[in-house]
Structure 1
Amino acid sequence: MLDRLRIVLIGTSHPGNIGAVARAMHNMGLSDLALVAPRCEVIHQESISRASGADHLLHNARIHADLEDAVADCTFTVGASARSRTLPWPMVSPRELAERLPSECQPSGSRVALVFGREDSGLTNAELQRCNAHVHIPTNADFSSLNLAAAVQVVAYECRLAWLATQTQAPELSSDEHDDTLATHADLERYFEHLERTLVAIEFHDPAKPRQLMARLRRLYLRARPEQIELNILRGILTATEKQAARTKTTPDNPSTHE
């Protein structure tokens, strides 16, 4: 299970924090580190020093231009958020997240991304809307700011506890469970693009007056966790809708000319 967890850091500005995150990951048995548009050197004297022997994670870390690329192959993406947003998203604690991991990591090809934002501003609303859920660490309300590595350590610790529990009590699964692969983040993003294009074509959605329509639909589908075959069905419906809309627009208004 731990091999299927990816820690994603966005816009990290201090090399020491990247090194400390690598140490926290290695302590808990995690090894998949992805960096999105880091604002500092990754392989730096301070990052290596703070890694304290986990610098192999720094050398093996993959660097991406954006979040989309970093989580494209993931089936479950969770963004760390210190506060609720205008449009609430499913919120879990680190322990609740960890309890879900055995089932999230069970299907073949599944991978979980745990996304952490910038030291000074966290994750943007747009980045959080790319996540299936938000994880919130219930800190002291009077002093809630956590160091980046400390936040990763808390979440990674809970993940390790959940993994240790599976070693002593493996879940009993029937032979026909988890036969269908969950849709990946990249699959869902292509679906959202297709959905918005179709909604514009049938004049249900006006991009000039979005009214959070696409954000709400994102929340709906990300919460539903569709399987690949289900997403294929949904895209087939969209394609048929587009074709029908195109035929309607090209058909004369005079009923007598209709076939």
Structure 2
Amino acid sequence: MHKPALPVEETDTYQDQIRIVLVETSHSGNIGAVARAMKNMGLGNLWLVNPASFPDEASYARSAGASDVLDRAQVVSSLDEALADCVLVMGTSARGRKVPWPVTAPPEAAARAAQYAHQGRVAMVFGRESNGLSNDELQRCHYHIHVPSNPEYSSLNLAMAVQVICYELRMHYLRSLEEGESRPHLGSMVRPGDPGWDVPPASVGDVEGFFGHLESVLEAVEFHRRSNPRQLMPRLRRLFQRAHMDQMEINILRGVLTSVEKAVEARDGVGPDKATAADAADEGQDKDHV
């Protein structure tokens, strides 16, 4: 009926303490999409309260490789059964209630879920596609979770809502793993020297050598004159230093400049009109205010 799936990460640990509960889901494909959202974030404990149809081909097709989450899913006939052994219940709610109820945003909900997960099962409850959870069902929850979406278009489909909550659970879990460590999961890699970058950053000496080479080549092609420098080299220096180049990038650029030098030498051997080229370079600098 479905292809095998890779196992859910960290089964029977913190993630498995978090129970995703879907109440009376109308479309089985949405159950599959929820399973996929859960597995993306390392979760695998899915409970289904009186689904219209499950299991079926549509749910497995939409799961896109998360069939193991569906294989393990618990199907029960009432919300009571899904919540009976839980120590904390939080339900998603998109609208206000006559009786104010404790409301939390997804990040805070994830932190609270992690706290209680050490004591027992935690249920995150999602309602029907058409009208969510009933008032009676929401009153079974200790907290309501509100996703602060665009008030002019606030409705999320079921899998989207589950993805938002599971993402926050995942982020909280990763942060807990990396407290006091080097943050291999969450640390950014944006420039040479960051963990994971493949080449060391260029040294100041390497960069200065490149700038000297660049200025020499720009003079050779008569784009830049030391006697009338304007602001060309400071602006180019600002540009390249903003890039935080690595050693390989410096080597590539130096190789490009060397090729340009060879081309200039070949050109000079033919004897082009140097004055015309210089005038064009000056005109370009005046036009661009460099």
CA contact 1:81–1:134 (8 Å) conserved in 2? yes
Q: Is 2:54 the counterpart of 1:42?
A: yes
| Partner Cα distance (2:145, 2:164) in 1 | 11
Aligned twin of 1:148: 158
Q: Secondary structure at the match of 1:25?
A: helix
* AA in 2 matched with 1:161: M
* AA in 1 matched with 2:95: R
Q: Is 2:65 the counterpart of 1:58?
A: no
Q: Secondary structure at the match of 2:86?
A: coil
Aligned twin of 1:29: 42
* AA in 2 matched with 1:156: C
Q: Is 2:151 the counterpart of 1:138?
A: no
Aligned twin of 1:88: 100
| Partner Cα distance (1:48, 1:54) in 2 | 8
Cα deviation, residue 55, structure 1: 1.2
Q: Is 2:100 the counterpart of 1:71?
A: no
CA contact 1:19–1:46 (8 Å) conserved in 2? yes
CA deviation map 1:86-106 (0-9, x unaligned): 111100010111122332122
Cα deviation, residue 49, structure 1: 1.0
Cα deviation, residue 3, structure 1: 1.6
CA contact 2:18–2:122 (8 Å) conserved in 1? yes
Cα deviation, residue 151, structure 1: 0.2
Pair member with larger Rg: 2
Aligned twin of 2:132: 122
CA deviation map 1:73-119 (0-9, x unaligned): 00000011011111111000101111223321223xx1100000000
Aligned twin of 1:5: 18
Aligned twin of 2:195: none
Measured on the aligned residues, the alpha-carbon RMSD in Å equals 1.1
Q: Secondary structure at the match of 1:115?
A: strand
| Partner Cα distance (2:54, 2:159) in 1 | 15
Q: Secondary structure at the match of 2:161?
A: helix
Higher relative contact order (CA 8 A, sep 6+): 1
- The gaps in structure 1 that reach 5 residues or longer are 171-259
TM-score, normalization by structure 2? 0.56
| Aligned positions of 1:105-116 closer than 5 A | 105-107=117-119, 110-116=120-126
Cα deviation, residue 8, structure 1: 0.2
Q: Number of matched residues?
A: 167
Could you list the runs of 4 or more consecutive aligned residues of structure 1 that deviate by over 2 angstroms after TM superposition? none
TM-score, normalization by structure 1? 0.63
Aligned twin of 1:19: 32
| Partner Cα distance (1:102, 1:18) in 2 | 24
CA contact 1:42–1:58 (8 Å) conserved in 2? no
CA contact 2:46–2:74 (8 Å) conserved in 1? yes
| Partner Cα distance (2:114, 2:76) in 1 | 27
* AA in 1 matched with 2:69: L
Q: Secondary structure at the match of 1:76?
A: strand
Percent of matched pairs sharing the same residue: 50
| Partner Cα distance (2:69, 2:117) in 1 | 22
